Amino acid sequence: MTNFSKYAVIAIVLLSLVPLGYQFLSQKMSAEEIFAANFTTEKILNFENRRGFEEKKTTTPNDLEINKQIAIRTKAVIFYNEKKYPEAINLFQSYLASSIKIKNKTEVEFYLAKAYLADNKPSEAKKVLESIIKEGKKSIKQDAEWYLVLTLIKEDNVEQAKVGLNNILRSQTSAAHKNKALKLQQQIDKNYVQ
C-alpha cells in the first residue's frame, strides 16, 4: 500500500466520523443542564467589612446579642464559601430572624437565595429573590433578577424565564447582565429541548 493510499484510507475514516461528531456537538440540553451551565456561587469576599454593626467590647445584653449575631453571620459566610449550603442556610436564616437591625439585610437575603439554589431548593430561592426584586436596592435587584431567571430554568419554567430574560435585555441593567442574558437566551433558543 502506498503512502497516498494510507492517507486516503485515514481521510475516509475521519470523514465518516464527522456526522457522529456533529450529532454529539449539537445535542439538545435539558433545563437542568442549562441551569448548571449558567449558575455560579462565587465566594463571599469582604462581607465583614460591610456589616451593619460593629463588634462591641462591652457586655451589655444588646452588645452580647450583636456579638452573637456577628458570629452567626461569620459562620454562615464560612459555610457558604465551603459549599456547605444546608448549614449556611440555617445560619443565614437565624441571622435574618434576629432582633438586631441589619443594614445589609438584602445582601444577606441574596446569599441565602443563592445557597437555596445551590442546595436544590428553587422554590425557597424564588420567594427570597422575588422579595429582593420588590424591595431591594437597584444593584442587588439586578443580580436578583438574573438569579430569578436561573431559578425559573431550574424549575423547568423556561417560557417564564424567557420573559425575565427579555425584561433584563430591555432594562437599563449593566452590560454584564445584558451580555449574560443574551448568551443565555441564545443558549435556550439553540439547545433547549423539553
The per-residue pLDDT string of the chain (194 residues; one tens digit each, 9 = 90 and over) reads 676 666 655 656 555 555 444 444 557 889 999 999 999 888 998 665 444 444 445 577 778 888 899 999 999 999 999 999 999 999 999 999 998 888 788 999 999 999 999 999 999 999 999 999 998 777 799 999 999 999 999 999 999 999 999 999 998 767 678 899 999 999 999 988 77
Domain residue limits at 64: 27-191
6 belongs to a structural domain: no
120 belongs to a structural domain: yes
Domains of the chain: total: 1
138 belongs to a structural domain: yes
Long-range CB contacts (within 8 A, 24+) of 113-118: 113/144, 113/147, 113/151, 114/41, 114/80, 114/147, 115/41, 115/80, 115/85, 115/88, 115/89, 116/85, 116/89, 117/39, 117/41, 117/147, 117/150, 117/151, 117/154, 118/39, 118/41, 118/83, 118/85
12 belongs to a structural domain: no
- Say how far apart CA 114 and CA 109 lie, in whole Å: 9
107 belongs to a structural domain: yes
11 belongs to a structural domain: no
CATH label of the domain that carries residue 186: 1.25.40.10
pTM of the predicted protein model: 0.78
Nearest residue to 72 (alpha-carbon basis) of 108, 36, 41: 108
104 belongs to a structural domain: yes
13 belongs to a structural domain: no
